[in-house]
Structure 1
Amino acid sequence: MNEREFHQSLIGAHAFFKDLGIARPMVAPRSLPVNPSFNKFALDTELPYGDVYFAGLRLGQFNFQLSDFSYFQFSFATSDDVRYAFYPAPFGAKAQARLDLLHQLLLRGDIDEEAYHTFAEEVPLNYGRPLLRYEYNVGQYKLGLHPASHLHIGTFGDDRWAFQRQLTPRAFALIIGKLYFRPHWEAVTVNGEDDSRENEFDRILLEERRQCVITPQHMFSEEEHAFFFS
């Protein structure tokens, strides 16, 4: 995947959530640059997730948000070094309603950005969905220790779930949509009389999977027999 393909896939990731009806406008249709201020929070595994989430929100460190204030980050350094992240909004239904109101006040100009973030950080947190980060980094590959293509789940940071394929931004977004926004995904499901099931988004995910390049075997052979499940 080259840089042009990366940006096209990023736009496709946003378009998918627009199709689900839950995407806010695109903020950065390009690779996010490194932000040292945000990284101080994101790389500190001792910090509560809420601190990291709000740091990204305050600093505008995202490509786009969803209607529930979750947000995505997509970064491209080279074809051998990409990073995607999904920062889920840590709020329950009542807190979500309060945030929606705060956002409307912000859009109308009744409160400023600083007041909005101050009030938002006082909203009770509810940790349901985990932080998810995907990385493909050839330079950091270490046989049996650090897979080139891998996923982090949560804030632990030293867990690396090996992926055989190199995910595109759109593939990453589709997986998030299928697993964590199930009611929207299932809205297009058609169930047949013979217990068959057809879902347009499942078809799109399958097509996108075929576009994801397979990691070279010399950087996957150890992971394949050691801790990869297919």
Structure 2
Amino acid sequence: MNLADFNTSIRAAIDFYTAQGLWQSSVYTCALPRSASFNQLALTTRDYAPVYEKGLALSHYNFLLSDLSFFQFSHTSETEYALAYYPNPRLSGSPAALDEYRSYEKERDEGHWSDEEFAELASAIPVRTFIPRIRFEYSEKQYKNVRHPGAHFHIGMSGEDRWASARKLSPLTFALLMAKHYHPVNWWAGSRFSHPVEDQNLLFETCLDRKLIAALQVDGVSQFLSEDERMGFHFAALHGAVTT
């Protein structure tokens, strides 16, 4: 994926989350520049919360969601890029924790708490990390048959897990997948599969499911997937016909 298309896809992801009422702010609407300070920590620890807090403190992200989770999209070349979703280790995936945080926000806005008191209350919400960090990498330079797939996911902080993918992903597609799996209230409200079976085909052209399929079709297949890797477990998409 060339840089111009990559940046266009980032802006499309921002537009999607804005339309869903989940977007809070943007820092970079183009490929994320390198941060030596962030990378130094991220590459030397497997403790997620400090890495998340560092990214948040540095505003080292493309855009921030209303639960204070954020996305990082970095691009080096057409065959070297990475996409990452950093959930909030206190709030993301926990409606109760998010409600608690919102109540503190409301009380601060009403003058019951100072900004410092609000920050103390928010930081006292326990770190539970209900949702893991998700990172997708596409790399020709690092590709080694089976041992280091060209397109792969890291789930969590191990760093040694590489879940092979048969497809490339754009920032938009990655953002849609994160919405589907980690913001289900919004996703299923726009999915045709939340409607009676007899109505699902009528809603195909306007549903979020169609949006995801269209994005996957544009992204295309990984250029770095061997027959050995095809024989093993890997993520794939667009097998079979779409029922409409």
For the superposition of Structure 1 and Structure 2, which TM-score range results when normalised by the shorter chain? 0.7 to 0.9
Map residues 169-188 of structure 1 onto 2, 5 A cutoff.
Answer: 169-188=171-190
TM-score by length of 2: 0.82
Alpha-carbon distance in 2 for matches of 1:45, 1:221: 34
CA 1:42 to 1:187, structure 2 compared with 1: closer, same or farther past 3 Å? same
2:67 aligns with: 68
Summarize the alignment of residues 185-200 of structure 1 with structure 2, pairs less than 5 Å apart: 185-190=187-192, 191-192=195-196, 194=198, 196=200, 198=203, 200=207
Distance 1:187 1:93, change over 3 A: closer
Partner residue of 2:31?
A: 31
Kindly report the root-mean-square deviation, in angstroms, between the aligned alpha carbons of the 2 structures.
Answer: 2.5
118-127 vs 80-89, which moves further: 118-127
- Contact persistence 1:164–1:220 (CA under 8 A): no
Q: For residue 29 of structure 1, give the secondary structure of its aligned residue in structure 2.
A: coil
Q: 2:242: which partner in 1?
A: none
Does residue 11 (structure 1) correspond to residue 6 (structure 2)? The answer is: no
Identity %: 33
Aligned residue identity for 2:198: D
The structure-2 alpha-carbon separation of the partners of 1:229 and 1:4, relative to structure 1 and needing over 3 Å to count, comes to: closer
SS at match of 1:85: strand
Mapped to 1, the partners of 2:85 and 2:157 lie a distance apart of 12
Residues 1:56 and 1:102: Cα distance change in structure 2 (over 3 Å): farther
Q: Secondary structure at the match of 1:57?
A: helix
One-letter amino acid of the counterpart of residue 74, structure 2? S
Other-structure match for 1:136: 138
Unaligned runs of 5+ in 1: none
CA contact (8 A) 1:45 1:156 kept: no
Matched AA of 1:164: A
The correspondence for 1:213, drawn from 204, 207, 220, is 220
Q: Are residues 116 and 84 of structure 1, via their aligned partners in 2, closer, same or farther at CA, if it must alter by over 3 Å?
A: farther
**TM-score normalized by the length of structure 1:** 0.86
Amino acid aligned to 1:208:
A
Change (3 A) 1:193 1:111: closer
Tell me the residue number matched to 2:43. 43
Distance, in Å, in 2 between the alignment partners of 1:97 and 1:149 is 37
